[in-house]
Chains A and B, each alone.
Chain A
Amino acid sequence: MAARDIHGIEAPWTEFKVVGKSHRKIDGMAKATGEAVYADDIQLPGMLHAKTLRSPHAHAKIVSIDTSKAEALPGVHAVITGKDMPIQYGVIPWTPDETALAVDKVRFIGDEVAAVAAIDEDTANAALELIEVVYEELHAYMDPRESLERDEPQIHPNRKNNNVSKHVELEFGDVDGARKASDVVVEGHYEFHGSTHTAIEPHCAVAKVSPEGVLTIWSATQISHYVHRALARVLEWEPQKIRVIQPCIGGAFGGKSDPFSLEFCVAKLSQLTGRPVKMLWTREEVFYAHRGRHPMSLDYTTSATKDGKITGVDAKILIDGGSYSSFGLVTTYYSGQLLTGPYDFPSYRYDSTRVFTNKPPCGPKRGHGSVQPRFAFECQLDEVAEKLGMDPIEIRRKNFHGEHTKTVNGQRITSSGFMECLDKVEKGSGWTERRGKLPFGRGLGVAGSMYISGTNYPIYPNEMPQAGIQLKVDRSGLVTVFSGANDIGQGSNSVVRYIVAEELGMDAADVRVIAADSDLCPVDLGAYSSRVTFMVGNATIDAARKLRKKIVTALAEKWEVPEARVRLIEGRAIDLEDTERSIPSREAFEIAEARFDTLGSTGAYNTPTLGGDYRGGTIGASPAYSFTAHIVEVDVDEETGRITVPKVWCAHDCGRALNPRLVAGQIEGSVYMGIAETLLEDHKVNRFGLHSGPSLLDYRIPTAIDTPEIEAYIVESLDPEGPYGAKEAGEGPLHSAIPALANAVYDAVGIRLRELPFTPAKVLKALREKREQESKAGGAAAAMDRHLGTH
């Protein structure tokens, strides 16, 4: 890690003027007024429209494809199939198992087989119907347990481990010994179902090829850089001749983190036809593209002493990966690596296996890989507390790992505001006065969690920075920031603006941001793993301070005063000891431009060396971790089984909140999404291998009326390495919503729900079982009473 990478938690000029205050998002008005340009808004002269032919079979060999009739249809310009782009790719360079269009075989219903470019969408759709594909159906895997046990047919041929995508087994400390020595052991099996991101904007890409052979692609992606690399690889095109632009994006949540078929197809079709080509996926196609939450079967054992100290955690996890690898290697590690805080436990083992099935491919969804284990573990912690008669918040406090420490698997923890998170939700919810005292059917539950602010694993090994920023300033008074980061609505462009305005003492409105255009902006790795504010924020401070130095030096020379007397503040430059001497920023920039010639600067960030000294030890190793605590209140209708959530209290430690309004928005959005997948959403495939309802009608995301009241608390632990002390806020606050809800249901009606989603039918079943057990126990007790009575 270079010196450039740590900038301290302090304000650049004694006190913060921009940072820490609530501002409107940089693109808020453009989005509200409809001015914002999304990928599908792009219309180019002569543009063709492309559509994708998809597999109707869950698992089949492609015997033959005849495109001649489609090609002959008037208005059709080109038809492509897998043989046009046979080079495999994958976002993780070690597991390239995808092709732009299927080569030889298809692996799920919806897998891409061919693409057509035509004068309009209707003609393209008509052409798809004319493509003749002969398939030879293969046995389709729907159950991950079958994928584990059965060798033939292989979903991806020539793999050593049959249908296993990735297996990780790691042990830290003596788990078995801890268990033997413990006073309390809780064992349980948990099922976590699949869910998808449901970004409101469907995937869309537009490509054109210039006469000079430059391919420009506009895509609704959250990882421009990996799209750039994948295009170069698959199209065998020199990277300097590819320009990737991410227009305004209508949500992503992890669902736009892979290179997708449509990006390659529009590029190839544009190359073949010499025309710009657009492809917009339907909602149904977005459900097939998926890359959502992995279904997991989780077996957990937690051991503890009688005073509530956790001594060991033992996990065995089966992960249903769907049909391709995607981020699966990382998912498999994350399922184990990210559980080791905010609690300290001396022994830990996990054995995670990701298998392929013939379903839409899973990938990263908000809280990638760690939401599922967190659910299992936080439910077990509640059970440990119950067995010991401890308050569930107290057991969490008791096991807190502290600040500036190391986890059992070797992760370096810096700042942690977890205890304050617990305090906030405890107080806000009236926990002490209300828990356990609410009427039957009402309950409160608590859970905690931890998440990364990016990791030092850059997906492809390289020595270059993870994030870059470039600044341009001139005599107009404008500062332009060129940011490689993908703003996916989380507000990264806004954050960059606030930081530059803060450092240069400017009015934020005079800082404009150009982002995610590979011709103009330096490389950033993308909007994933909650890395952007932390890494791009640091790169921005780095760049801004270099520029600030020049401006201050030029002014100090001009005014013949020491540099310490020059202050840039609120759109002006002033002499601290002679405040009569005060000029607008614009004049300051003129002086600097005259002194140093054309002004600009670059900034970068890279992570320190982190992680445990073992294979996979760097995966999940983050420069800083965020912490969250949730308390969820539930209302369980005993007759209908329906769980409603009147209120959620969520406290999140994001370090310094650069814009508290954006942080609160991330907390609220995370709570919404967590509750949604707990109670309603279910990305499932039916007995035919078909997605059971790939539409916004049948895939139930909560409406406004279904959304709980949310109290968002921001906790600021000020991380020594974050930009001004900031950490992540976009994914962490989802995790503990789910187990807190499960624990609240136990408080409300005394049932432990271990299988998600918590449908009313499952609640009724669990209530029935509980009544049966109680009546058995009651019967036994009555019998005992009679027995005792007779003697």
Chain B
Amino acid sequence: MLRLPKFRLEEPTTVEGATALMAEHGEDAMVVAGGTDLWPNMKHGLFEPKVVVSLKRVEAMRGITVDEDGSLRIGATTTLAEMAQSAPVQASAPALAQAASLVAGPQLRTMGTAGGNVMLDTRCQWYNQTHFWRKSLGYCLKKDGTVCHVVAGGRKCVAAASNDTAPTLMSLGATLAFASADGIREVPVGELWKADGIWNKKAERSEILTEIRVPKQAAGHRGAYGKLRDRGSIDYPLFGCAVRMDLGEDGAVAGADLVCVALVARPLRIKRVEELLVGKTPGTEAFDSAVQEVADLAYAQAKPMDNIPGDAEYRRELVPVYVRRTLQAAARGEGPVHHV
């Protein structure tokens, strides 16, 4: 078995206690919630924190509540399984429940958390490997090396955002609450990302994501998530797309959004989706052809790279198929789109 490097485990019981520890230890500390991302990464020698601050005993960070205004508050250490099975999440943010239900496999979803999936490290076939493997390779740009093996001569890391829930949260206009010794700040999830595979978030590593807030959606809200992967379980996405589709009282599309993942370092919002879909009524030819136009648009904008395992050309070929199927599923109030 691969060994975990040695570290000190801290288990604070309050957010303040956690932020104080992070402030105290600075770059030597990392937070862990479910550990489904951090522990394997540490076993691979990708991170070697001296102190790991566990959020498991911070009761205030766990659970799902519905505010009076109908918005959802999801504690960051709520497990993915809880989020996937939550009746309020299924009712008011179906795409999020669907995406959570497709993260990894059942066992991992009972450990992995809502916040952990947002904060997931970017992934790459040249990076998520053991130390021996990476050393034999001569390392890579993201960790310990200077060369990118995805883009010849590349200077910027293109490891892929691989979190299934991130694009759904973007499509839902969610905000994130980050705690630090300086207090709490709120960040719209769409503004969290930057195009740097080494650390793709505009947040300090010492900041702790405590809560995800999903605003109340429109009355005719529909949503779906589509996930391409090799197996019916376990695998990270080879491509993922989140759809928001708000239907007006007349049954026509009043608002829409499409955000994709497993492409580049950040989740990617496809541009001009809303203008193509608004006014089209699901079930009509006009809607179907608008959906096809959106699929073509996604094909033009979403360009998978050889960062994560899987044939990039094939993944690209599947972009319009999954986008179209996910849009249609959302329109029907169905989903997720997945091969099993």
A interface, CB within 8 angstroms of B:
54, 56-57, 109, 121-122, 125, 280, 282, 284, 637, 639-642, 644, 680, 688, 690-695, 697-698, 700, 702-706, 759-761, 764
Q: Is A700 in contact with B231, judged by CB distance below 8 angstroms?
A: yes
User: Which of B1, B129, B311 interacts with A759 by CB under 8 Å?
Assistant: B311
Please give the distance in Å from A127's CB to the nearest CB on chain B. 13
Known pairs A640-B228, A703-B105, A703-B234 / 20 extra A-B pairs, C-beta < 8 Å: A54-B132, A56-B132, A109-B136, A122-B6, A125-B3, A637-B339, A640-B318, A690-B133, A690-B137, A693-B309, A694-B133, A695-B129, A697-B128, A697-B234, A698-B309, A700-B230, A700-B235, A705-B231, A705-B233, A706-B233
User: Which of B105, B231, B339 interacts with A640 by CB under 8 Å?
Assistant: B339
Please give the distance in Å from B334's CB to the nearest CB on chain A. 17
Residues of A within 8 A of B235 (CB): 697, 700
Residues of B within 8 A of A644 (CB): 339-340
Q: Is B1 in contact with A56, judged by CB distance below 8 angstroms?
A: no
Residues of B within 8 A of A761 (CB): 311, 313-314, 317
Complex Cα spacing A125 to B133, Å: 15
Chain B interface residue bracket vs A: 20 to 34
Please give the distance in Å from A278's CB to the nearest CB on chain B. 12
Q: Is B232 in contact with A706, judged by CB distance below 8 angstroms?
A: yes
Task: Kindly count the residue-residue contacts between A and B in the assembled complex, taking CB atoms under 8 Å apart.
Answer: 79
Q: Is A703 in contact with B133, judged by CB distance below 8 angstroms?
A: no
Complex Cα spacing A759 to B311, Å: 10
Q: Is A705 in contact with B340, judged by CB distance below 8 angstroms?
A: yes
Q: Is B317 in contact with A280, judged by CB distance below 8 angstroms?
A: no
Taking CB atoms and an 8 Å cut-off, the chain B residues in 295-315 that contact chain A are 309, 311, 313-314
Please give the distance in Å from A16's CB to the nearest CB on chain B. 42
Taking CB atoms and an 8 Å cut-off, the chain B residues in 273-314 that contact chain A are 309, 311, 313-314
Residues of A within 8 A of B311 (CB): 759, 761
9 smallest beta-carbon distances between A and B, as pairs: A56-B136, A761-B314, A705-B232, A703-B233, A761-B311, A700-B230, A706-B232, A639-B321, A706-B231
Complex Cα spacing A691 to B133, Å: 9
Q: Is A690 in contact with B136, judged by CB distance below 8 angstroms?
A: yes
- Chain B residue at minimal CB-CB distance from A641: B314
Encode B1-28 as 1/0 by CB contact (under 8 A) with A: 1110010000000000000000000000
Residues of B within 8 A of A641 (CB): 314
Complex Cα spacing A760 to B133, Å: 28
Please give the distance in Å from A70's CB to the nearest CB on chain B. 16
Taking CB atoms and an 8 Å cut-off, the chain B residues in 74-125 that contact chain A are 105, 125
User: Which of B3, B236, B313, B317 interacts with A122 by CB under 8 Å?
Assistant: B3
B54 within 8 A of A: no
B130 within 8 A of A: yes
Please give the distance in Å from B111's CB to the nearest CB on chain A. 15
A690-B133, A694-B133 known; A764 vs B314 contact (CB < 8 Å): yes
Sample of 9 A–B contacts (CB below 8 Å):
A54-B132, A284-B130, A641-B314, A644-B340, A693-B125, A693-B129, A694-B129, A761-B313, A761-B317
Q: Is B1 in contact with A280, judged by CB distance below 8 angstroms?
A: yes
- Chain A residue at minimal CB-CB distance from B5: A122
- Chain B residue at minimal CB-CB distance from A120: B3
B332 within 8 A of A: no
Please give the distance in Å from B26's CB to the nearest CB on chain A. 26
Residues of B within 8 A of A121 (CB): 3
- Chain A residue at minimal CB-CB distance from B4: A122
Main SS class of interface, A: loop
- Chain A residue at minimal CB-CB distance from B315: A761
B135 within 8 A of A: yes
A56-B136, A284-B133 known; A703 vs B232 contact (CB < 8 Å): yes
Please give the distance in Å from A72's CB to the nearest CB on chain B. 21
Complex Cα spacing A692 to B129, Å: 10
Residues of B within 8 A of A764 (CB): 314, 317
Complex Cα spacing A702 to B6, Å: 34
User: Which of B3, B309, B340 interacts with A706 by CB under 8 Å?
Assistant: B340
Taking CB atoms and an 8 Å cut-off, the chain B residues in 198-247 that contact chain A are 228, 230-236
Residues of B within 8 A of A637 (CB): 339
Please give the distance in Å from A769's CB to the nearest CB on chain B. 15
A282-B2, A688-B137, A705-B340 known; A680 vs B231 contact (CB < 8 Å): yes
Complex Cα spacing A642 to B321, Å: 12
- Chain B residue at minimal CB-CB distance from A128: B132
Residues of A within 8 A of B318 (CB): 640, 760
Complex Cα spacing A760 to B314, Å: 8
Complex Cα spacing A125 to B130, Å: 13
Complex Cα spacing A639 to B314, Å: 11
- Chain B residue at minimal CB-CB distance from A693: B309
- Chain B residue at minimal CB-CB distance from A280: B1
Complex Cα spacing A644 to B338, Å: 12
Q: Is A284 in contact with B137, judged by CB distance below 8 angstroms?
A: no
Complex Cα spacing A761 to B2, Å: 34
Residues of B within 8 A of A642 (CB): 339
Please give the distance in Å from A252's CB to the nearest CB on chain B. 19
User: Which of B1, B228, B234, B313 interacts with A282 by CB under 8 Å?
Assistant: B1
Complex Cα spacing A487 to B311, Å: 40
Complex Cα spacing A759 to B228, Å: 13
Complex Cα spacing A691 to B228, Å: 24
Q: Is B130 in contact with A692, judged by CB distance below 8 angstroms?
A: no
Residues of A within 8 A of B129 (CB): 693-695
Q: Is A692 in contact with B309, judged by CB distance below 8 angstroms?
A: yes
Residues of A within 8 A of B130 (CB): 282, 284, 694
Complex Cα spacing A703 to B105, Å: 10
Please give the distance in Å from B30's CB to the nearest CB on chain A. 20
Residues of A within 8 A of B133 (CB): 284, 690-691, 694
A697-B235, A700-B230 known; A759 vs B125 contact (CB < 8 Å): no
Please give the distance in Å from B121's CB to the nearest CB on chain A. 14
Which of B6, B137, B313 has most chain A Cβ within 10 Å? B137
Taking CB atoms and an 8 Å cut-off, the chain B residues in 132-172 that contact chain A are 132-133, 135-137
Q: Is B231 in contact with A702, judged by CB distance below 8 angstroms?
A: yes
Q: Is B230 in contact with A680, judged by CB distance below 8 angstroms?
A: yes
Complex Cα spacing A688 to B339, Å: 33
- Chain A residue at minimal CB-CB distance from B44: A695
Q: Is A692 in contact with B125, judged by CB distance below 8 angstroms?
A: yes
Q: Is A759 in contact with B231, judged by CB distance below 8 angstroms?
A: no
Please give the distance in Å from B175's CB to the nearest CB on chain A. 32
Residues of A within 8 A of B339 (CB): 637, 640, 642, 644
Complex Cα spacing A637 to B234, Å: 22
Residues of A within 8 A of B314 (CB): 641, 759-761, 764
- Chain A residue at minimal CB-CB distance from B320: A639
Residues of A within 8 A of B317 (CB): 761, 764
Residues of B within 8 A of A760 (CB): 314, 318
Please give the distance in Å from A448's CB to the nearest CB on chain B. 29
Residues of B within 8 A of A697 (CB): 128, 234-236
User: Which of A56, A640, A692, A693 interacts with B135 by CB under 8 Å?
Assistant: A56
Complex Cα spacing A697 to B129, Å: 11
Residues of B within 8 A of A691 (CB): 133
Residues of A within 8 A of B3 (CB): 121-122, 125
Complex Cα spacing A698 to B130, Å: 12
Complex Cα spacing A399 to B129, Å: 50
Complex Cα spacing A697 to B162, Å: 14
Residues of B within 8 A of A694 (CB): 129-130, 133
Please give the distance in Å from B146's CB to the nearest CB on chain A. 16
Please give the distance in Å from B110's CB to the nearest CB on chain A. 16
Residues of B within 8 A of A705 (CB): 231-233, 340
- Chain B residue at minimal CB-CB distance from A121: B3
- Chain A residue at minimal CB-CB distance from B138: A688
Complex Cα spacing A360 to B235, Å: 25
